[in-house]
Structure 1
Amino acid sequence: MTSSETVTAGLSATRRAVATARRIVVKIGSSSLTTTEGGLDGRRLDTLVETLSRRAAEGSQVVLVSSGAIAAGLAPLGLGGRPGDLATQQAAASVGQQALAHAYAASFARFGLTVGQVLLTADDVVRRAHYRNARRTLRRLLNLGAVPVVNENDTVATAEIRFGDNDRLAALVAHLVEADALVLLSDVDALYDGDPRHGRARVVREIATAEDLEGISVGGTGSSGLGTGGMTSKVQAARVACSAGIPALLTSAELAEEALGEAEVGTVFGTTGPRLSARRFWLAHAASARGRLHLDAGAVSAVVRRRRSLLAAGITGMEGSFEGGDVVELIGPSGEVVARGVVAYDASELPELIGRSSHELPAEQRREVVHADDLAPLD
């Protein structure tokens, strides 16, 4: 056994999965790449690229989800801080994205690697056809040996279709490319059980289940003011990935080399669910819900535990204006979202069906309200 194998063997199963991932998505935050005064920090960007290139040279396929376009455009435009209005953010992004793409292309070229820029809006994953196109493009770039560099398309994104932070985008991309692991890099070295800036706080090294997060405050944000995603968004992104069978690691950009190696740094999140099909993942985490169906306890048990179709008899109420083929949320008796799925009826058709058994309905209305093949339980 080599020394490398000895170290890897001493890691937990989750850390070993990250260390040996053949396809890995790495997300870097704005504060780790830029400064308010000087725009892009070339030294830090080059250090990150060197680390990713080393991982690629070892045989892994790497996808980089990079923030920083807006922040990179601040200094060239003479702006003293991140603007609050959407139009100025878009203007800064149009300047900064060009600088960011050029910097990555030049830096990766030092190691003989070609970069492919992929700009996405939430619309590109909410709309099923767009989702498939993004998936196909990313996979093709990887097959051609390029390094996809993904960012939210801040230049055209509106308030209604923005991801809000690139952490969620990274989790969606990890599933799009069928990654073996997700690494989230920011200015915080790990998840703590409290705010490390105020008093004593303990590092949480591993999250195996949702219960491990109980009592942990994750509301803190970075101190730079350049990014939009705080610790809450990173934990949520990690949980989205893990629910789809993709382990995640959260740590600081300064520890990127160790995080992509075999050191026990940061916090790892173990998988909490099986690998999902592209369709089920899209239903659960990417699609926009157009309405809500309220279910009784029996229907929740059938849909979530037994993976059965939703019938009209188990519905107690509805909200929203939707059409057959739209995605809706399924709500349990306590008000929690238990699943999402594609509804087979228009909102105008359902009121007369709610609560009625199939044998009480006309033959043409006895089909499932949400078919099992179009359901994604959120347990």
Structure 2
Amino acid sequence: MVDEQLDVRRQIADARSIVVKIGSSALTDLSDGLSLPRLDALADALEARMAAGTDVIVVSSGAIGAGLAPLGLKRRPTDLATKQAAASVGQLALAHAWGTSFARHGRTVGQVLLTAHDISRREHHANAQRTLDRLRALGAVAVVNENDTVATDEIRFGDNDRLAALVAHLAGAQALVLLSDVDGLYDGDPRKGAARMIREVAGPADLDGVIAGSGGALGTGGMASKLSAARLAADAGVPVLLAAASQADAALRDAAVGTAFAARPTRLSARRFWVRHAAETRGSITVDAGAAQAISHRKSLLPAGVTGVSGTFSAGDVIDIVTDDGAPQARGVIAYDATEVAEMVGRSTADLPSGLRRPVVHADDLVPVA
């Protein structure tokens, strides 16, 4: 077991390509906004890792936080318009600060702003991938952030932890490092009394009894989002290190600090990963208990097991599959339009016209949500 734990940290320390996510609290505060000394310290740690031969992509939070002080705002806004206004000011300041800081090391910075829509649509997904690959080929440091100036509650990632995990998959990174204001994963809130730090997470069983909270005053993440991001990255075959930004030097040097999350033994294919985590769903279909059981055994979904249709979708779209009581079962690439599926509900394949006898969702296009 000890060897396995060391092996995960060694994988992270030896990774030739990594994504490093930096939380809002590591870069900004409510009174003074963007902290240039803290940003410089992080850039120095990142530069040391790059100088050692590692390809690094930075996912930087802090745009909204960086915009608060210049706009005279005393707290993080709750309404969308003010968030977007703060982000429009903060993104400019944040990009300039990263550019100035890395320029001390002779590095050029390229800013990449993404929304959930950019990742969910295959053609946008490919464009983002090409941009990141080309920036790295040209020797520039890609600094990625959610495009808060245009993202709405319906299309946003929700936190940059999830964005970082998706970018790690998108870029084919070999490790993901999450740097924030916490030094690792605890089984409770360490600010509220005794809590045990969990140094290694080999699988879901190691998270039994863990209570994860939401984000603080400056961010939208929190431990819950970090756990979700670690699970997402694990599906992509990417090990994760969660550590404090103040420990960036050690985290990026030998991964000896924080909590290390092992990747799943068998990684999802790029297509199945996209279906489960990145694709934007266009609707849902409801299935009976028999169909739900068949799905759990990696079998195709047939019309006889479908009990309802919701939303407007076309053949080739990704849809959610739920049981009659609303419990999520899977995501999948639908083979028919919504109007066609509605005509097929509950019917035997033998009773359908020859053009409607394929599975509603083929087993190869089904990905269980659990």
Smaller-chain TM-score bracket:
over 0.9
Change (3 A) 1:97 1:221: closer
2:312 to 301, 318, 321: 321
- Aligned residue for 2:253, secondary structure, equals coil
Paired amino acid for 1:161: I
Is structure 2 residue 93 aligned with structure 1 residue 90? no
Q: Distance in 1 between matches of 2:168 and 2:327?
A: 26
- Residue 321 of structure 1 and its aligned partner are, at CA, apart by 3.3
Count of equivalent residues: 369
- Residue 314 of structure 1 and its aligned partner are, at CA, apart by 3.2
Unaligned stretches of 5+ residues in structure 1:
1-7
Matches within 5 A, 1:71-110: 71-110=65-104
More helix, by proportion = 2
2:251 to 211, 234, 259: 259
- Alpha carbons 1:117, 1:148 under 8 Å: kept: yes
Paired amino acid for 1:213: L
- Alpha carbons 1:11, 1:264 under 8 Å: kept: no
- Alpha carbons 1:251, 1:265 under 8 Å: kept: yes
Q: CA RMSD, aligned part only?
A: 2.1
- Alpha carbons 1:9, 1:16 under 8 Å: kept: no
2:330 to 329, 332, 339: 339
Paired amino acid for 1:344: A
Paired amino acid for 1:231: M
- Alpha carbons 1:26, 1:64 under 8 Å: kept: yes
- Residue 10 of structure 1 and its aligned partner are, at CA, apart by 9.0
Q: Deviations over 1:14-70 (max 9, x none)?
A: 211111111100000111101222121111101111111111111110000001111
Paired amino acid for 2:287: L
Report what 2:144 is aligned to: 150
Q: Distance in 2 between matches of 1:59 and 1:302?
A: 47
1:355 to 339, 346, 349: 346
- Aligned residue for 2:266, secondary structure, equals coil
2:43 to 35, 38, 49: 49
Unaligned stretches of 5+ residues in structure 2:
none
Q: Distance in 2 between matches of 1:253 and 1:91?
A: 27
- Residue 334 of structure 1 and its aligned partner are, at CA, apart by 7.2
Q: Distance in 2 between matches of 1:51 and 1:128?
A: 34
- Residue 313 of structure 1 and its aligned partner are, at CA, apart by 2.9
- Alpha carbons 2:215, 2:223 under 8 Å: kept: yes
Q: Distance in 1 between matches of 2:122 and 2:253?
A: 36
Matches within 5 A, 1:1-379: 12-222=6-216, 225-272=217-264, 274-296=266-288, 298-306=290-298, 308-331=299-322, 335-379=326-370
- Alpha carbons 1:293, 1:331 under 8 Å: kept: yes
- Alpha carbons 1:240, 1:285 under 8 Å: kept: yes
Change (3 A) 1:160 1:331: closer
Q: Distance in 2 between matches of 1:324 and 1:351?
A: 13
- Alpha carbons 2:12, 2:255 under 8 Å: kept: no
Q: Distance in 2 between matches of 1:278 and 1:375?
A: 13
